[in-house]
Amino acid sequence: FFLVFFCLFCFVLGVFFVFLFQIDYTGTEPSSPCNKCLNVSWDSSAPCTCTINFTLEHSFESNVFMYYGLSNFYQNHRRYVKSRDDSQLNGDNSSLLNPSKECEPYRTNEDKPIAPCGAIANSMFNDTLELYRIENETRVDIPLIKKGIAWWTDKNVKFRNPTGDGNNLTALFQGTTKPVNWPKPVYMLDTEPDNNGFINEDFIVWMRTAALPTFRKLYRLIERKDSLEPTLQAGNYSLVITYNYPVHSFDGRKRMILSTISWMGGKNPFLGIAYITVGSICFFLGVVLLIIHHKYGNRNTSADIPN
């Protein structure tokens, strides 16, 4: 009975976790609106923009979490994970101008120290996603919140800007240069002082490396404003993508994911697949053991010799 109960429990969890909405915007298909951006490179002179229209069949009632997802991207590679300088990221002024050798070959560029140094920072995700609702053939902008997406300990403990006279980040980062693949320096990631430099939350989220080659990272929050209205109503929507991040060279894929939080946490397709797989195995073993018990369970196992 325990095996049957566990099997049903796994099936229920699997079905619960597997539902979420996602759009693949890699653009490998010729019919995709983003196909024109497929061969974008780090040093492209101008960003490529594409728009994907989609329909939500069901409303999202509570707060919505927007993620970007990458596939075939190995953030768990040993040398990649080590390619950073935590002292520099914590605002240490000496490490700012003399980064760790672990950052090689992204330690210096043109005889200037790179800030932030290392392969993780150099490969930071930089696509821009905008979401609109289509009402009477007009686009209505959906506000996307860019703060509150990083872990509190990362934002307030692990990542800090350099210290010095005044709060002018341009002066504090003087003598350093931007990562090779970045279009602009770290002190220009945002216009708001509390979300700029090393404490920029998009940067902090990227620096927390993923354990698997297919992963997703929190990009924006969509808060529910009216308790009587869903956060995202069922209907037509438009996703506008500023396509900057190249993945075609390593057969990667990119996705935009919309999800909600429930009492069991976020919806995750990996957990859903895992639970359904375990439930299926348990069910199969239960049937096999039942057949074995029915066929052989009533045999006389007594060692007594009959008269």
- Low-confidence winner among 2-6, 82-86, 279-283 (lowest mean pLDDT): 2-6
Provide the β-strand partners of residue 70.
Answer: 215, 254
Identify which of 64, 72, 53 has the alpha carbon closest to the alpha carbon of residue 20: 64
Sheet holding 48-56, edge to edge: 48-56, 235-243, 128-135, 138-141
Task: Summarize the confidence of residues 215-231 as an average pLDDT.
Answer: 89
Identify which of 8, 9, 14 has the alpha carbon closest to the alpha carbon of residue 274: 14
- Whether residue 295 lies inside any domain: the answer is no
- Whether residue 247 lies inside any domain: the answer is yes
Q: What is the pLDDT of residue 302?
A: 54
**CA 72, 86, 266, 134 torsion-angle sign:** negative
List pLDDT tens digits, range 130-178: 999 999 889 999 999 999 999 999 999 999 999 887 778 999 999 999 9
- Whether residue 58 lies inside any domain: the answer is yes
The secondary structure of residue 304, as a DSSP letter, is: P
Question: pTM value?
Answer: 0.80
List pLDDT tens digits, range 255-272: 999 998 654 445 555 666
Q: What is the pLDDT of residue 9?
A: 58
Q: Which stretch, 31-45, 158-172, 209-223, has highest mean pLDDT?
A: 209-223
- Identify the domain containing residue 51 by its residue range: 1-266
Can you give the C-alpha Rg of the chain in angstroms? 25
* CB-CB contact of 199 with 155 (8 Å): yes
Q: How confident is the model at residue 11 (pLDDT cuts 50, 70, 90)?
A: low
Q: What is the pLDDT of residue 306?
A: 54
Question: What is d(CA 195, CA 168) in angstroms, rounded to the nearest whole number?
Answer: 13
Q: What is the pLDDT of residue 18?
A: 41
- Whether residue 289 lies inside any domain: the answer is no
Tell me which long-range contacts 32-36 makes (C-beta under 8 A, separation of at least 24).
Answer: 34/241, 34/243
**CA 23, 29, 33, 36 torsion-angle sign:** positive
Identify which of 182, 185, 180 has the alpha carbon closest to the alpha carbon of residue 170: 185
- Whether residue 301 lies inside any domain: the answer is no
Residues with Cβ within 8 Å of residue 148, at least 6 apart in sequence: 201, 221
Q: What is the pLDDT of residue 24?
A: 95
- Percentage, residues of the chain above pLDDT 90: 66
* CB-CB contact of 174 with 115 (8 Å): no
Residue 7 has pLDDT above 70, yes or no: no
Question: What is d(CA 22, CA 71) in angstroms, rounded to the nearest whole number?
Answer: 13
Q: What is the pLDDT of residue 298?
A: 62
Reduced to 3 states (helix: H, G, I; strand: E, B; else coil), residue 226 is coil
Tokens 């996705």 belong to 255
Q: How many domains, the chain?
A: 1
- Low-confidence winner among 2-11, 95-104, 290-299 (lowest mean pLDDT): 2-11
- Whether residue 287 lies inside any domain: the answer is no
Residue 304 has pLDDT above 70, yes or no: no
Q: What is the pLDDT of residue 41?
A: 86
- Whether residue 194 lies inside any domain: the answer is yes
- Whether residue 96 lies inside any domain: the answer is yes
